[in-house]
């Protein structure tokens, strides 16, 4: 059976760091409130979706040790493309000197898992090597006078190269979901800012993450005790805590980077996953559960068997 596995990865964060103290000079908020209610201490702001994607993708290509001309597709998950057309993935493809298919995908904060699963679909019909990227520059669509959203959102990117393999690959189970009837809870019109009913998103987020994780695990034929590391969407540490408690995964087996990154939407799961990998928190053969939720309201999860590149 044809499948795929990650052979290299990279991440990128803008240089400019904005602390909670910095935000408290711009709006009626404070470090104590933000830390207690969200877990976020700092976030990185700046760059464009293309520049951050190019940086993380270049690192992933270098780590993979591959000839870039062997890449036959770029899948870029983003809710913040640099232009309406062309897709930002086209800019990234050209900057990296690639000649292959390239498209953007928007499934909000679930986007990286969507892109990873879609890339497996392409592998199953003949693609050999793909670049999968999750990047967002949410600071550009954030209303910096709205303390309900400005304390959460930030910029970043994570990328990986995945290779076709003939032994079934590392993706053991997946789930993609959406409920468009809830679009009023979290949206940004073209050219406009993010609007969010934070309380309602919070309430539903926990439920849909747990539900999606259960579906992926069932497809993989695994239980929660098999999971060595859970990599949830980095939105709010209270959401992560509540979802992991309901799933029965202790925080020691959960990847959390949001204290340093804020909510970077498409980049949040790859930033957390590759931080854990870089720190040696994942061993060969470990079962990793990625699970996200976002506007739309989308949910996505994937159970993978980690393979050391
Ligand atoms: O990728 C998906 C994206 N979205 C999310 O994941 C968001 C999910 N929701 C959340 O993370 C939380 O709902 C928030 C962090 C947005 C808000 O936290 P909360 O615990 O739901 O706070 P709240 O909106 O119920 O506000 C509680 C109090 C209110 O004051 P009163 O009415 O109790 O006097 C707010 O006015 O805190 C006040 N408040 C703030 N105070 C200081 C709201 N925002 C702030 C703030 N700083 N930034």
- pLDDT above 90 (res 170): yes
124 with 26, same domain: the answer is yes
List pLDDT tens digits, range 154-165: 999 999 999 999
Looking at the predicted structure, is the pLDDT value of residue 287 above 90? yes
Looking at the fold, whether 141 and 12 belong to one and the same domain comes out as yes
**Same domain membership, residue 148 and residue 183:** no
Averaged over 190-204, what is the pLDDT? 97
Query: Whole-angstrom distance between the N-terminal and C-terminal Cα of the chain?
Result: 20
* End position of a domain, from candidates 126, 147, 165: 165
Q: Which residues contact 64 (CB under 8 A, 6 or more apart)?
A: 7, 8, 161, 309
* C-alpha distances out from residue 223 to 174, 218, 291, Å: 14, 7, 15
According to the model, what pLDDT value does residue 1 have?
74
CATH number for position 126 = 3.40.47.10
Of the CA atoms within 13 Å of residue 285, those in its CB half-sphere come to 0
Task: Specify the pairing of strand 287-294 against strand 227-232.
Answer: parallel
Confidence of residue 114 (pLDDT cuts 50, 70, 90): very high
**Ligand 1: nearest atom to the Cα of 268:** 1
Question: For residue 294, how far is its CA from the centre of ligand 1 (angstroms)?
Answer: 17
Q: Give pLDDT, residue 168.
A: 87
Using CA atoms, how far apart are residues 204 and 41, in angstroms rounded to an integer?
A: 24
The residue-averaged pLDDT of 239-246 equals: 97
Please tell me the distance between residue 147's alpha carbon and the centre of ligand 1 in angstroms.
Answer: 8
At which of 133, 165, 197 does a domain end?
165
pLDDT of residue 53: 99
Question: Rounded to the nearest whole angstrom, what is the distance from the C-alpha of residue 111 to the centroid of ligand 1?
Answer: 24
Q: Which of 148, 185, 233 to mutate to test the pocket of ligand 1 (most atoms within 8 A of CB)?
A: 148
Please tell me whether residues 152 and 178 are part of one structural domain: no
**Quick one: 229 and 246 in the same domain?**
yes
Q: Which residue range(s) make up the domain with 293?
A: 171-305
Q: Are residues 9 and 52 in the same domain?
A: yes
Average pLDDT over every residue of 7-31: 98
In the chain, % of residues over pLDDT 70: 100
Residue 263 known to be catalytic: yes
What's the pLDDT score for residue 226?
98
Residues 231 and 269 sit within 8 Å (Cβ to Cβ): yes
260-285 tens-digit pLDDT:
999 999 999 999 999 999 999 999 99
**Tokens linked to 183:** 């679009």
Whether residue 229 has pLDDT greater than 80: yes
> Rounded mean pLDDT of the chain?
97
Q: How confident is the model at residue 288 (pLDDT cuts 50, 70, 90)?
A: very high
Q: Say yes or no: 66 and 122 in one domain.
A: yes
Average pLDDT over residues 28-43: 98
**Tally of structural domains, the chain:** 2
pLDDT (0 to 100) of residue 101: 98
Q: Is-catalytic flag, 195?
A: no
Instruction: Note the helical H segments in 65-196.
Output: 88-95, 111-124, 147-150
Per the residue annotation, which of 20, 106, 109, 236 is the catalytic one?
109
Categorize the per-residue pLDDT at 259 as very low, low, confident or very high, splitting at 50, 70 and 90. very high
């Amino acid at each position: 059976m044809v499948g795929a596995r990650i052979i290299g990865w990279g991440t990128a964060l803008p240089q400019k760091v904005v602390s909670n103290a910095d935000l408290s000079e711009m709006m009626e908020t404070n470090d104590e409130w933000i830390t207690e209610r969200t877990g976020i201490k700092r976030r990185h702001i700046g760059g464009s979706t293309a520049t951050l994607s190019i940086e993380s993708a270049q690192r992933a290509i270098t780590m993979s040790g591959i000839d870039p001309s062997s890449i036959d597709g770029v899948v870029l998950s983003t809710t913040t493309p640099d232009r309406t057309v062309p897709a930002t993935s086209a800019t990234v493809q050209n900057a990296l000197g690639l000649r292959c298919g390239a498209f953007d995908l928007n499934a909000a904060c679930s986007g990286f898992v969507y892109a990873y699963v879609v890339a497996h679909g392409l592998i199953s019909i003949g693609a050999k090597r793909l670049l999968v990227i999750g990047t967002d520059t949410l600071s550009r669509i954030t209303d910096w006078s709205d303390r309900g959203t400005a304390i959460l959102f930030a910029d970043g990117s994570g990328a990986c190269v995945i290779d076709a393999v003939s032994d079934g690959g590392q993706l053991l189970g997946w789930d993609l979901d959406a409920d468009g009837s809830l679009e009023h809870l979290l949206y940004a019109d073209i050219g406009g800012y993010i609007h969010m009913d934070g309380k309602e998103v919070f309430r539903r987020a926990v439920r849909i993450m747990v539900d999606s994780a259960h579906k992926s695990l069932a497809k993989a034929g695994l239980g929660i005790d098999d999971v060595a590391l859970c990599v949830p969407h980095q939105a709010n540490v209270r959401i992560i805590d509540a979802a992991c408690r309901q799933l029965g995964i202790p925080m020691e087996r959960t990847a959390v980077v949001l204290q340093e990154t804020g909510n970077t939407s498409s980049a949040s799961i790859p930033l957390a996953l590759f931080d854990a990998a870089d720190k040696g928190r994942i061993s060969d053969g470990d079962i990793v559960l990625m699970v996200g939720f976002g506007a739309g309201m989308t949910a996505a999860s994937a159970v993978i068997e980690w393979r050391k590149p």
